[in-house]
Structure 1
Amino acid sequence: MDGVEGGQTVPRRGGRAPSSSRTRVLDLVRTRAPISRVELAELTGLTQAAISHAVRALLDEGLLRETGDREWTGGKPRVMLTLDPLARCAVGVQLGADWLVVVLTDARGAVVARTRVRGARLHQPDAVVATIARHVDVLLRASGVGRRGVVGLGLAVPGTLDLDAGAIAVSRSLDRWQGFPVRSRLGAAVGLPVVMDNDATAAAVGEYWAGRTAGSVAHCTLYMGAGLGAGIVVGGTVYRGASGNPGPIGRMHLHRSAAPGAGGVAPGGGAAVPGADGAATRDPGPTLEELAAPHAVARRARRAVAAGRRTSARLSPDGDPIVDFGAVATAAVQGDALAVELVEESAGYLADAAVTVANLLDVDSVVLAGPAFSTAGSLYVDVVARRLRAELHAGGQHGVRVALAAHVADAAAVGAAALVLQQDLAPRRR
């Protein structure tokens, strides 16, 4: 039987049907190994017979193995179980305007091999697909992992998706890719089944699969690359909405009332402006991306320098926003006053969205992921955590853990591989 996830059909090995007990056992071994059968029964509430049946099936598939260790409890020693990391591998691809990342991960989601090059903003889709295929081939050969050990390729992309067509419907950063059948073209180029999702959702699944959100009931990953998005995982299952396009928080309009920031422009707005029919309408104000994203920080940095502000950040001669944001982030962690001001201003806007999402969904875990957090991520974490402690509606019942993703810059690529592993090994149904 095939698994259906986010409008995509993914073949499973050997026609194996999904089993809730099998999934629960595999999840616990994956996140808590080494672990015994007795502990599995205690944690799941399943009978010893059900545990034995599930474990035997997983051992026969080669997914689990007995470690040879024993846990002594005064009676018969308990045999400990663990996941065989190389029993399954997956490829993850992070297709971004600024960066293109290809990773190979093992069954636990650990990175076996990785490559990272400048992104797809200026290149035609067919040429980028060919480039990805070459990088996949190189990684598989260099790592010694043959194609037979790879269950598929996960593709993480920005924008609004048409999951039935396997295409990007709308993307502000990759407009050339709109309508391009990237899933089928990439599958044909690499010779592997392809699963496709948005970058924020992929990053959220990667954190879950690696066990970093174990114990969380409702989790949100805030992903910032060229744009901003949110991926939501509840009880191990991705929240996908009606079309598989939840979490476009970058398009959220903010009406914060504030004095002019470092760039000399007051955020907010909300003034009455003429509409298309001549009637007055309310200006929705800037979006979160226009205030918090890397290109916004780079733009404010240039305005501040032009206005006479001093900084140690070395801005690019050609106005490259990627280079400029990296320079500001580096200067900020080194304590440069203007750079800290710029980053904390960006983090403040991001925190506005984080508080809204946390209160709306009642989350207990927030992770920041994406290349924008690779240098000054700790500053963003501090601001977001502080705001959530002060403004969480359910703060009297629970707190919110705020952290950086394990592979912060490449989180979407690692998560894309996790999408494949989850669908093959521990499928969830919507």
Structure 2
Amino acid sequence: MNQVRTHPASRGAVLDVVRVRGRVSRAELAEVTGLTQATISNVVRGLLEEDLLVETGERVYTGGKPRVLLTLNSTALCALGVQLGADWVGVALVDAAGTLLARTRVLGARTGTPREVLEDVTRATTDLLVTAGLDADRVVGLGVASPGLLDVDRGLILRSRSLPDWRGFPLRAELERLTGFPVLLDNDATAAAIGEYWGGGSADAVAHCTVHLAASLGTGIVLGGAVYRGASSNTGAIGHLTVGEDGQRRTIEELVAPRGVAERARALVAEGATTSIVLSGDEDWYRDYQAVATAAVHGDETAQRLLETSADHLSDAVLAIANVLDLDSVVLSGPAFAVAGTIYLRHLRRRLAAEFFAADRHPLRVRLSAQVADAAAVGAASLVLQRELAPR
């Protein structure tokens, strides 16, 4: 009988341990997973037959029979990930261990119709496989990470401020038709969070949150290695929380996200503020935000104050989530952190160190994603890998 069908939970548990630890013996697998030696033997035998595990040739001597070490055959299969955005679309190729093999970008969703953008994405996936020297039969699927309100069951974007033309478009069905791969659609912040877990960055976290900032702001939550999905896989929309600001109610997203930062920068420049920020002539908020971020890292005080104000509002929201969920891990990801993420990171660490409720009980790690700009693309591929190798 097929091993995957017989022991899906046990198979996933074994693969999780091997993926995180790198090299491990059968005895260690039994000890860590709590599975019996007989179960471990059966699962490992099946994974060796599938070529997902290989014996390293190394042996550990503990006084008795030497233990043969096992490791993941990361090249046995791979997955593709797509990160949808208005200005650009990231495409990533990831191996079974969550390692980024190749990546590229194509023009974003506001440059063409949904179908035209997906045709560009399809060409990009073919080019990535050629670049990596991999056959298409190694690809187990393609994940798509998108902002907005999603219907993941039907593979649709129901509403997205940055992707208005995609509303109701049969994204999953069309991309499956174009690429020939099975397609999985999910929230960009959720995808980024799973990418952090699958790639090992937060694998030992009990309660993890990835804060994803692009045109919109969201969070992905992973608890005990399983993504928290809520009732409809639309969790973590902290950008829609409202706060009082100057006597009026505004959303956190308006105060934190690049568009709001760019609008405040333009207002300050119009008022004659002393700054080196060079704004676009056509009021392109994406390029204006990049100009602010670049000026900030080069020491421009006006730009730094703009980002620190954004970071302060972001910290309010993250602190609330950290206290409610008793987090032990927070990662910042998304293209908005690509240039000046260290400013946000420094501010958030300071706030959490001073105000995190459970600080006397356990540490709370806060860091930037290793693939900060492409985290959702890598994560989208990781969602496919998790579904294939270690479904939860």
Does TM-score exceed 0.5, indicating one fold? yes
Tell me which residue corresponds to 1:141: 130
Q: Which residue of 1 aligns with 2:52?
A: 63
Write out per-residue CA displacement over residues 5-52 of structure 1, whole angstroms, 9 at most, x where no aligned residue.
xxxxxxxx9873552222111101001111122222222222222222
Structure 1 residue aligned with 2:383? 419
Point out where structure 1 has 5 or more consecutive residues left out of the alignment. Answer: 2-12, 256-266, 271-284
- How far does residue 287 in structure 1 lie from its aligned partner after superposition? 0.7
Question: In structure 2, which of residues 214, 222, 229 is the aligned counterpart of residue 225 of structure 1?
Answer: 214
Q: Which residue of 1 aligns with 2:285?
A: 321
Q: TM-score, normalised by structure 1?
A: 0.88
Matched, 1:286 2:264: no
Q: Which residue of 2 aligns with 1:311?
A: 275
- Rounded Cα–Cα distance in structure 2 between residues aligned with 1:39 and 1:230: 34
* Rounded Cα–Cα distance in structure 2 between residues aligned with 1:221 and 1:18: 30
Three-state SS of the structure 2 residue aligned to 1:169 is strand
The match for 1:387 is: 351
Q: Secondary structure at the match of 2:367?
A: strand
**Whole-angstrom CA distance in 1 between matches of 2:123 and 2:102:** 14
Task: Within 5 Å, give how 1:288-367 maps onto structure 2.
Answer: 288-367=252-331
Match of 1:182 in 2: 171
CA distance in 2, matches of 1:154, 1:315: 35
Residue 375 (structure 1) aligned to one of 331, 334, 339: 339
Q: Secondary structure, in 3 states, of the residue corresponding to 2:250?
A: coil
Q: Distance in 2 between matches of 1:236 and 1:348?
A: 29
Which whole-Å CA distance do the structure 2 matches of 1:14 and 1:23 have between them?
Answer: 11
1:172 aligns with 2:161: yes
Q: Kindly tell me: are residues 399 and 203 of structure 1, through their superposed partners in 2, closer, same or farther at Cα, counting changes over 3 Å?
A: same
- Aligned amino acid, residue 169 of structure 1: L
| Contact 1:315 1:323 (8 Å CA) reproduced | yes
Contact 1:156 1:416 in 2 (8 A): yes
Determine helix, strand or coil for the equivalent of 2:291.
helix
Matched residue SS, 1:254: strand
- 1:39 paired residue among 13, 23, 28: 28
Q: Which secondary structure does the structure 2 equivalent of 1:409 belong to?
A: coil
| Partner Cα distance (2:141, 2:38) in 1 | 33
Q: Is the counterpart of residue 162 in structure 1 residue 140 in structure 2?
A: no
User: Which one of the candidate residues 200, 203, 226 is aligned to 1:237?
Assistant: 226
Rounded to whole Å, the distance in 1 between the matches of 2:355 and 2:127 is 48
Shift of 1:113: 1.4
Q: Give 1:252 deviation, angstroms.
A: 1.0
One-letter amino acid of the counterpart of residue 79, structure 1: V
The DSSP-based 3-state class of the residue aligned with 1:176 is: helix
Which runs of no fewer than 5 residues in structure 2 stay unpaired?
none
**Letter aligned with residue 282 of structure 2:** D
For the aligned residue pairs, the C-alpha RMSD in angstroms reads 1.6
Aligned residue for 1:8? none
State the one-letter code of the partner of 1:81.
Answer: L
Helix, strand or coil: the match of 2:243?
Answer: coil
Match of 1:98 among 68, 75, 87: 87
In the aligned structure 2, how far is the partner of 1:128 from the partner of 1:205?
A: 25
TM-score scaled by structure 2? Answer: 0.96
Q: Deviations over 1:345-389 (max 9, x none)?
A: 111111011011111222111111100000111111111121112
8 A contact 2:4–2:11 mirrored in 1: no
Q: Which residue of 2 aligns with 1:252?
A: 241
| Residues 99, 117 of structure 1: 8 Å contact kept | yes
Cross-structure match for 2:109: 120
Contact 1:93 1:101 in 2 (8 A): yes
Q: CA deviation at 1:98?
A: 2.1
Which residue among 184, 189, 199 is the counterpart of 1:210?
Answer: 199
User: 1: CA distance between counterparts of 2:254 and 2:247?
Assistant: 13
Distance 1:30 1:15, change over 3 A: closer
SS at match of 1:351: helix
Q: Structure 1 residues 372, 402: closer, same or farther in 2, change over 3 A?
A: same
Question: Quick one: which amino acid aligns to residue 405 of structure 1?
Answer: S
Structure-2 separation of matches of 1:170 and 1:132: 21
**Residue type of the partner of 2:264?**
R
Amino acid at match of 1:269: G
Please tell me whether the aligned partners of residues 328 and 362 of structure 2 are also in contact (alpha carbons under 8 angstroms): yes
- The answer to whether the Cα contact below 8 Å between 2:106 and 2:120 also exists between their aligned partners in 1 is no
1-structure distance, mates of 2:282, 2:151: 36
Measure how far apart 1:76 and its partner are: 3.1
1:231-273 Cα offsets, whole Å, 9 max, x none, are: 1111111111111111111111112xxxxxxxxxxx3424xxx
